[in-house]
Every structure is written in C-alpha cells, then in structure tokens.
C-alpha cells in the first residue's frame, strides 16, 4: 500500500529554493556553453540540455532495455498513472500550488521536470518521497524495489526525446563517479 508522504514541512521555502537552484543551474549551464542557444532568445528555461558537455568523457547513453520498459510500464499503470496520467502528461496545472499548499502531479514525459534529475535522485524521491516538503507524492518504500523503480524510469526514458535522454544520462553518469 502507498504510505502518505510525511507532512513534516511547514512551508514551501525549500521547494522554492530547489526550483531556484534548478533555474540557476541552467543559467550557469547556458552561460558556460559557447555556441549554444542564447538564453535571452530562449523561451524555454528547460533547454538545459543545450549545456550538454560535448567535450566530456561521458559515454553515449546505453540502449534502453525493452523488457525493463515493458515491466516499468505495467508498474507505472498500477502505481503512478492515477496521479501522473496514463499518457504521462500529469496535471495541466502542475506548476500552480493548490489550496492545501501542495503541487499537483507533474508530467513524467519530456514536458515535465523528472528528466532534470539523475537516476540516483529519482530513485530516492520515488522510494522515500520528497524530503522536507509538504507534498502529494506518496512514498513507495516497501512497495517497490529499487529495481522496479528503475524499470519505471526506463519506461519514462523511452518516452523522452533524445535531448532529454542525453541530458539525464549525463547527470546520472556524473553522479555515479
């Protein structure tokens, strides 16, 4: 059974800091990347992948495993789709806080935010919930194994574009060094 996320957090400050950190990170990434999209011309802050480090020693993303994608899709439909939607599109108002102070479920496809996080972070979020934040995201500790969570992530990856996949692979690879 899903456990509710602990309601330990009094306000949204740390989420706001988190979001600012992400925006700031992309600003740095964009600024540090010569020849990439000028942030002033970009209407999409999520173009963080323009900061892909072409000269780095990061290997190409490994091929996705069809068996794990299929397993992940079944688990997604069972445990996640009720909130994040069958087509992964999440809630249309996912960026706006609701009356109870939580945010609606975000998309899991390329229009969302999940691909901004490394696998290691995503496994923790899905297994343990979002720390210190009043959140509607349940925890799956004791319900899903890490391997099952990784299968769900494999399914998400199969739905992202090449750029999101490459960006998320790069941060995952770097986080494992």
The residues of the shown chain that bind ligand HEC, judged by CB under 6 A, are 79-80, 82-84, 102-106, 112-114, 122, 125-126, 130, 133, 135-138, 140, 152
CB of 177 to ligand HEC, least distance (A): 22
Instruction: Decide whether 74 or 125 has the Cβ nearer to ligand HEC.
Output: 125
Cβ atoms 63, 132 nearer than 8 A: no
- For 81-150, the DSSP string reads HHHH-TTS---TTTTS--TTSPPPPPPSSTTSSGGGS-HHHHHHHHHH--TTS--SPPB-TTTS-HHHHH
Q: Please say which residue, 33 or 125, places its beta carbon nearer to ligand HEC.
A: 125
Closest approach, Cβ 81 to ligand HEC, in A, equals: 8
CB of 50 to ligand HEC, least distance (A): 19
Q: Which is nearer to ligand HEC, 56 or 78 (CB)?
A: 78
Answer for the pair 37, 48: CB distance below 8 angstroms, yes or no: no
């Amino acid at each position: 059974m899903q456990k509710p996320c602990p309601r330990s957090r009094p306000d949204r400050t740390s989420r706001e800091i988190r979001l600012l950190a992400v925006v700031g990170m992309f600003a740095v990434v964009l600024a540090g990347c010569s020849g990439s999209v000028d942030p002033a011309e970009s209407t999409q802050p999520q173009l963080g992948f323009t900061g892909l480090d072409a000269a780095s020693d990061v290997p190409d993303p490994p091929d996705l495993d069809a068996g794990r994608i299929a397993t992940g899709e079944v688990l997604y439909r069972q445990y996640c789709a009720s909130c994040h939607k069958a087509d992964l599109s999440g809630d249309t108002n996912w960026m706006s806080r609701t009356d109870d102070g939580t945010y609606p479920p975000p998309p899991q496809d390329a229009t969302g935010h999940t691909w901004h996080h490394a696998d290691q972070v995503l496994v923790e979020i899905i297994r343990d919930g979002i720390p210190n934040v009043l959140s509607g995201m349940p925890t799956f500790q004791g319900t899903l194994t890490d391997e099952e969570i990784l299968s769900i992530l494999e399914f998400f990856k199969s739905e992202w574009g090449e750029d999101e996949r490459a960006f998320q692979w790069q941060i995952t690879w770097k986080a494992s060094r």
